[in-house]
């Protein structure tokens, strides 16, 4: 027997293929399987995949010290000089992502068994979920931008399918379509970026001999780096990342994507898929460092998105919408870090965020699950925080784990979110130029929002008095074990994973996470000039450490202060009335929303703006095109016209087809005579 | 030779004339048999006695009988025949005994000089020539005549055999001298030494045709429309 | 010596007569009979060529190949008549007639 464990390539293939098998089994035979076997197979596939990933990471990459594992399966396409291999490529960056996807994916699969057990479409659900894991793994493990794009589109498809999972409600399917269309805009940019890179380097692979890296090195060596082109390429790639990772202006789909099942929101729309944009930017870091304009755009877009989405999150009533805007905001933090050149911080924030955001989503899922039990499936009241309160008594495990998640999200010192977010803010603080201060300002404002809505979420949901339907409160039960277990594990992660990258101020100059990823950035860092703002700092002098302490103090104070303030407001019924006075003028039915509240609640009217400027003109243009081009030109002139010509001529010709043998014989004999006569005449 | 050929050719043409002019299928079949008999004489005149004998055995012995069987088993007259056929015998007489000889009997009373009724019927059942068919077949004849006229007087002037033919060339051995042209021995040598594969393939073809004919003509094929007996179909309806 | 062109002319006449029969008849069995006549005419032509174009150097087999082809034509004709008659019987069962005009399902 082949020792699979000692063969890294086989192990590597097993990682994405296991979920694919799970998808095939569930997709083909799911209708005949029970919840336990369907969910069991799906979860087992991802757990095995996670074990393989763990084996690769622990044994091959750490104990044997393999830097990369590569396996090429076949030539996918070859057109002239353009050749794309279909292969897998595992390095230190993709190993981090691989572990997040399979690890958190496995937990969410297990959670889903409890959450989706009563849904009639559970087999379809697990098939999609497994397909998603497969596509996501192809995205991060592919050895070229084209394979990445394959996974990119694959996760987009699964996202679309899962957002519209409860397809009987029109609202859900339109949300799915919105996600798809917003992503298409991004994909267009991504493809243009790929074409530009291919045009410049003649390759789209990042593994093997003729790769983007070697192309870049050759360009540096010969001094022919075309900065303008690289800037455009990077901006185009970033447009793609904006679509997938929900940044301004393409973020509008993510809040609507909450129409899908909650575990899907946790896995796809918080922990993994939406961070694909960060992965792509980090993967292409050696190109991005040469494109300073693009980097500035990335950083500013990230910062603006962080504040913008965070402020909308302040007033949302739907528990999942709060988390959705929080995700958009945190993704903005990640792009902020990437735009400042601190790619390792971006990836680190992806890593920590995956834990606490998945935890918060799963916790909210647990709340919704408990309330839906008596409110009925799809009842919006089950997600409205203003109709909750005091659920701590009923759902203690959910409450305490979510509390941990909220603290981590708010950036309370000691928890995962603090370390990653603080490091990002520090890198802006430390930069010292105008851009740095702008980003820092945006980041701090966003952090205030973050702490506020985290506390508001916990306070409204779990503390105070129950404000909804009494019956629902009485029947709210703690989640089953399969749902509670992932919550506990993720809570441990939300506490602990931050310690992988402690700031230098704590005396840790070589944190393991940074050391692990250092080789990924090595080429890009080497290409940067001395003293560049984009460099990842290696040495920290006493002034830097002092500055860092200042930053830590500021962000700790903000986080703790704002969190306590918001928690004090929202966990006490007496204070809720005062908050309400801020939002409404008047009492009861005559209450009028104050302008600022209305603007925030309506998400700055961005959806309406897009509707007015993009959707409506497109619809009008489509209607015109439909009538003129489709109905008149194509249908009437081409399709029906061609058919009518054919019909008219065949009406004439078909009379020849009498069905009488003797007529055919006459025709045949006449033809033969003519042929023989012609032959005789020509042979003269 | 010339005498045999002339006689045979005349017989053959006479049979052909009967075939193409007779409406009554039985008479037409008789004409076909006469034409084949004449052709057999032509083959003999052309030093092909084996072919001549095969012609008689296969056509007269097998095919003609088969035609006759089918004629007798089925009322195979066309609508045209039913309406216009005057006093015909043969298949019509078998199926419509009442009508048979009716007009012939009436004629008998009028004229003193009587021809045999079969001859009367045969003369009555001659069909008028069809102009289109006539034009087409005559133009065929003109074409063939022109082609024949263009042939060289001596057939050996055709020139040497094509190069690709040389592979199949038969090198006469000493024993071949004893074989005369057209003899059965020479023909069988041609079959079994020259074209054994074609011979086998043809046997396979005949076998397939046999099976096909059995399948097509079988009655009561379950579930296949049109294979049921006429009477039975009516019963079911 | 028999003049080969005369024999070929006989074959041409027989062939044309057969063709006339095929074209002028609607009765399927008549049609088939006329077809046989045409094949017979071809046979005569083949044997004629075999006889007069034996040729020097054609050898015993070469000289008789025309006769062999004739035998082949006969065999194929026999198969054809067998199938043809079977088809006529089948058509008759369906249409209760052997008129070729009756089988006109291919009419466009």
- Which tens digits make up the pLDDT trace of A531-552? 888 888 887 788 888 888 999 9
**Does the beta-carbon distance from C8 to B36 stay under 8 Å?**
no
Q: Which of C19, C100, C108 sits opposite A661 (nearest CB)?
A: C100
Instruction: Kindly tell me the burial class for residue A65, based on how many C-beta atoms sit within 10 Å of its own C-beta (0-12, 13-18, 19 or more).
Output: exposed
Torsion (CA) C54, C55, C59, C63 in degrees, nearest 10: -10
**The architecture CATH gives domain B1-128:** Up-down Bundle (1.20)
List C residues 81-100 in contact with B (Cβ-Cβ < 8 A).
81-83, 85-90, 92-94, 96-99
Residue numbers of the domain that contains C80: 4-99
State how far residue C19 is from chain A, nearest Cα, in angstroms.
8
C-alpha–C-alpha distance, residues A497 and A467, integer Å: 36
Take residue A112 and report the two structure tokens written for it: 């889903």
pLDDT digits (tens, 9 = 90+) for A631-642: 888 888 888 889
Please report whether residue A11 resides in a domain: no
Q: Identify all chain B residues contacting C34, using CB atoms and an 8 Å cutoff.
A: 19-20
Between A66 and A23, whose confidence is greater?
A23
Q: Identify all chain A residues contacting B145, using CB atoms and an 8 Å cutoff.
A: none
With H, G, I as helix, E, B as strand and everything else as coil, classify residue B120: helix
Please report whether residue A113 resides in a domain: no
Smallest CA-to-CA distance from A333 within A459, A418, A239, A452 is with A418
Q: Which of C15, C37, C93 sits opposite B144 (nearest CB)?
A: C15
Does residue A134 contact residue A15 with C-beta atoms inside 8 Å? no
Question: Of the ranges A313-322, A567-576, B43-52, C72-81, which one carries the lowest mean pLDDT score?
Answer: A567-576
Please report whether residue A575 resides in a domain: yes
Does residue A155 contact residue A19 with C-beta atoms inside 8 Å? no
Could you tell me the residue ranges of all domains in chain B? 1-128, 195-237
Q: Which residues face C99 on adjacent strands?
A: C27
Question: A394 and A482 in one domain?
Answer: yes
pLDDT at B157: 59
Q: Identify all chain C residues contacting B74, using CB atoms and an 8 Å cutoff.
A: 88-89, 92, 98
pLDDT at B91: 43
Per-residue pLDDT for A49 more than 90? yes
Residue numbers of the domain that contains A667: 611-682
Calculate what percentage of chain A has a pLDDT beyond 90: 48
**For testing contact with chain C, the best of A646, A660, A670, A671 (most C CBs within 10 A):** A660
pLDDT at B236: 45
Counting the structural domains of chain A, the total is 3
Question: Of the ranges A177-181, A429-433, B82-86, which one carries the lowest mean pLDDT score?
Answer: B82-86
Question: A645 and A575 in one domain?
Answer: no
Take residue A649 and report the two structure tokens written for it: 């001529």
pLDDT category at A81 given cuts 50, 70, 90 is: confident
Question: A480 and A399 in one domain?
Answer: yes
| Arithmetic mean of pLDDT, A133-147 | 93
Question: A484 and A363 in one domain?
Answer: yes
C-alpha–C-alpha distance, residues A525 and A216, integer Å: 13
Q: Identify all chain A residues contacting C101, using CB atoms and an 8 Å cutoff.
A: 660-662
pLDDT at B174: 45
| Arithmetic mean of pLDDT, C80-85 | 91
ipTM, two decimals, is: 0.90
Counting the structural domains of chain C, the total is 1
Q: In Å, how far are A120, A134, A141, A399 from A42, measured between CA atoms?
A: 16, 12, 20, 28
Over chain A, what is the mean pLDDT? 89
Q: Identify all chain B residues contacting A676, using CB atoms and an 8 Å cutoff.
A: 140, 143, 147
Please report whether residue A7 resides in a domain: no
Question: Quick one: closest CA in B to C101, which residue?
Answer: B78
Burial code of A438-447, b = ≥16 C-beta within 10 A, e = fewer?
bbbebbbbbb
pLDDT at A359: 94
**Does the beta-carbon distance from C104 to A660 stay under 8 Å?**
yes
C-alpha–C-alpha distance, residues B13 and B31, integer Å: 9
pLDDT category at A232 given cuts 50, 70, 90 is: very high
Cα–chain-centroid distance for residue A118? 27
Question: A360 and A498 in one domain?
Answer: yes
> What's the distance, Cα to Cα, between the start and end of chain A in Å?
81
pLDDT category at A661 given cuts 50, 70, 90 is: confident
List A residues 660-679 in contact with C (Cβ-Cβ < 8 A).
660-662, 665-666, 669
pLDDT at B86: 46
pLDDT digits (tens, 9 = 90+) for A578-628: 777 777 777 666 677 788 788 887 888 888 888 888 888 989 999 998 888
Question: A641 and A563 in one domain?
Answer: no
| A-C Cβ pairs (cutoff 8 Å, strict) | 34
Please report whether residue C70 resides in a domain: yes
| Arithmetic mean of pLDDT, A652-677 | 86
State how far residue C59 is from chain A, nearest Cα, in angstroms.
30
| A-B Cβ pairs (cutoff 8 Å, strict) | 22
| Arithmetic mean of pLDDT, A457-470 | 87
Question: A595 and A470 in one domain?
Answer: no
pLDDT at A266: 92
| Arithmetic mean of pLDDT, A363-383 | 85
Q: Give me the phi and psi of A76, to 5 degrees please.
A: -75, -50
Please report whether residue A678 resides in a domain: yes
pLDDT at B94: 42
Question: A398 and A482 in one domain?
Answer: yes
Over chain C, what is the mean pLDDT? 85
Question: A472 and A401 in one domain?
Answer: yes
Per-residue pLDDT of chain B (237 residues; tens, 9 = 90+): 789 999 999 999 999 999 988 888 888 899 999 999 999 999 999 888 999 999 999 887 888 888 888 888 776 555 455 555 444 444 444 444 444 444 544 444 555 566 677 677 777 777 777 888 899 999 999 999 998 888 776 655 555 555 544 433 444 444 455 567 778 888 888 888 888 899 999 999 999 999 998 888 776 555 555 555 544 444 443
Question: A618 and A578 in one domain?
Answer: no
Question: A444 and A560 in one domain?
Answer: yes
């Amino acid at each position: 027997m082949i020792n699979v464990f000692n063969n890294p390539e086989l192990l590597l293939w097993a990682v994405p293929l296991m979920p694919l098998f799970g998808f095939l089994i569930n997709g083909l035979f799911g209708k005949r399987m029970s919840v336990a076997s369907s969910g069991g197979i799906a979860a087992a596939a991802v757990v095995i995949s996670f074990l393989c990933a763990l084996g690769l990471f622990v044994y091959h990459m750490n104990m044997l010290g393999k830097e990369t594992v590569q396996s090429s399966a076949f030539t996918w396409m070859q057109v002239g000089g353009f050749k794309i291999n279909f292969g897998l490529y595992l390095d230190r960056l993709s190993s981090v992502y691989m572990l997040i996807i399979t690890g958190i994916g496995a937990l969410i699969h297990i959670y889903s068994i409890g959450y989706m057990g009563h849904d009639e479409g559970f087999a379809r659900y697990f098939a999609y979920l497994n397909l998603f894991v497969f596509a996501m793994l192809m995205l991060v493990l592919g050895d070229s931008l084209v394979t990445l794009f394959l996974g990119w589109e694959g996760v987009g498809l699964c996202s679309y399918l899962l957002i519209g999972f409860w397809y009987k409600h029109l609202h859900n399917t339109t949300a799915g379509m919105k996600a798809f269309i917003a992503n298409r805009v991004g994909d267009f940019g991504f493809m243009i970026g790929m074409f530009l890179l291919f045009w410049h380097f003649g390759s789209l692979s990042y593994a093997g001999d003729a790769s983007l890296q070697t192309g870049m090195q050759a360009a540096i060596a010969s001094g022919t780096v075309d900065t303008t082109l690289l800037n455009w390429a990077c901006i185009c790639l970033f447009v793609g990342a904006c679509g997938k990772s929900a940044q301004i202006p393409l973020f509008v789909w993510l809040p609507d994507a909450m129409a899908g099942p909650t575990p899907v929101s946790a896995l796809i729309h918080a922990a993994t898929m939406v961070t694909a944009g960060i992965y792509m930017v980090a993967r292409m870091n050696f190109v991005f460092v040469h494109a300073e304009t693009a980097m500035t755009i990335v950083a500013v877009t990230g910062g603006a998105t962080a504040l913008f989405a965070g402020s909308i999150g302040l007033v949302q009533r739907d528990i999942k919408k709060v988390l959705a805007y929080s995700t958009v905001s945190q993704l903005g933090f990640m792009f902020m870090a990437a735009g400042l050149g601190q790619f390792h911080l971006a990836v680190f924030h992806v890593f920590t965020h995956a834990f606490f955001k998945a935890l918060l989503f799963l916790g909210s899922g647990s709340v919704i699950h408990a309330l839906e039990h008596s409110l009925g499936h799809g009842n919006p009241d089950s997600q409205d925080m203003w109709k909750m309160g005091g659920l701590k008594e009923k759902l203690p495990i959910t409450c305490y784990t979510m509390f941990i998640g909220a603290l981590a999200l708010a950036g309370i010192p000691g928890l995962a979110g603090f370390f990653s977010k603080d490091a990002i803010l520090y890198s802006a603080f430390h930069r010292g130029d105008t851009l740095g201060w702008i980003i820092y300002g945006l980041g701090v404002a966003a952090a205030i929002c973050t702490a506020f809505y985290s506390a508001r979420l916990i306070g409204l949901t779990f503390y105070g008095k129950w404000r909804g339907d009494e019956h629902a409160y009485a029947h709210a039960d703690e989640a089953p074990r399969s749902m509670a277990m992932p919550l506990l594990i993720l809570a441990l992660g939300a506490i602990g994973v931050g310690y992988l990258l402690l700031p230098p101020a704590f005396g840790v100059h070589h944190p393991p996470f940074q050391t692990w990823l250092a080789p990924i950035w090595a080429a890009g860092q080497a290409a940067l000039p001395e003293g560049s703002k984009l460099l990842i700092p290696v040495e920290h002098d006493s002034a830097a450490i002092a500055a860092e302490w200042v930053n830590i103090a500021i962000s700790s104070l903000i986080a703790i202060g704002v969190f306590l303030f918001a928690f004090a407001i929202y966990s006490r019924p007496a204070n809720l009335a005062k908050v309400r006075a801020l939002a409404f003028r008047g009492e009861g039915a005559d209450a009028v929303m104050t302008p600022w509240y209305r603007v925030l609640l309506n998400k700055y009217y961005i959806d309406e703006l897009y509707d007015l400027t993009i959707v409506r003109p497109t619809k009008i243009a489509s209607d015109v095109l439909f009538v003129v081009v489709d109905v008149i030109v194509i249908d009437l002139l081409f399709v029906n016209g061609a058919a009518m010509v054919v019909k008219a001529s065949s009406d004439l010709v078909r009379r020849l087809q009498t069905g009488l043998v003797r007529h055919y014989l006459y025709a045949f004999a006449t033809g033969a005579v003519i042929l023989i006569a012609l032959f005789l005449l020509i042979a003269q | 030779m010339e005498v045999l050929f002339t006689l045979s050719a005349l017989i053959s043409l006479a049979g052909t004339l009967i075939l193409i002019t007779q409406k009554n299928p039985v008479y037409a079949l008789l004409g076909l048999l006469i034409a084949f008999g004449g052709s057999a004489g032509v083959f003999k005149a052309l030093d092909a006695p084996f072919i001549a004998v095969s012609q008689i055995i296969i056509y007269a012995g097998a095919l003609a009988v088969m035609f006759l069987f089918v004629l007798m088993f089925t009322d195979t007259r066309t609508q045209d025949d039913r309406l216009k056929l005057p006093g015909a015998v043969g298949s019509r007489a078998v199926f419509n005994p009442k009508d048979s000889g009716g007009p012939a009997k009436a004629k008998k009373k009028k004229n003193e000089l009587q021809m045999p009724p079969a001859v009367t019927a045969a003369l009555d059942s001659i069909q008028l020539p069809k102009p289109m068919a006539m034009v087409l077949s005559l133009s065929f004849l003109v074409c063939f005549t022109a082609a024949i006229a263009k042939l060289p007087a001596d057939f050996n002037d055709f020139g040497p055999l094509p190069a690709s033919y040389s592979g199949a060339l038969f090198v006469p051995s000493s024993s071949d001298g004893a074989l005369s042209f057209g003899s059965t021995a020479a023909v069988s040598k041609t079959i079994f030494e020259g074209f054994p594969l074609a011979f086998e393939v043809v046997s396979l073809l005949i076998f397939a045709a046999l099976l096909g004919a059995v399948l097509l003509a079988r009655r009561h094929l379950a579930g296949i429309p049109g294979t049921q007996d006429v009477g039975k179909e009516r019963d079911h309806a | 010596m028999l003049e080969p062109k005369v024999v070929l002319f006989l074959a041409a006449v027989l062939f044309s007569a057969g063709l006339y029969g095929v074209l002028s008849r609607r009765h399927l069995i008549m049609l088939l009979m006329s077809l046989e006549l045409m094949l017979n005419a071809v046979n005569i032509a083949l044997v004629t060529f075999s006889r007069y174009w034996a040729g020097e150097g054609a050898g015993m087999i070469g000289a008789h190949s025309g006769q062999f082809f004739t035998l082949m034509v006969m065999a194929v004709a026999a198969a054809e008549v067998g199938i043809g008659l079977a088809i006529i019987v089948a058509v008759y069962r369906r249409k209760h007639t052997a008129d070729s005009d009756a089988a006109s399902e291919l009419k466009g």
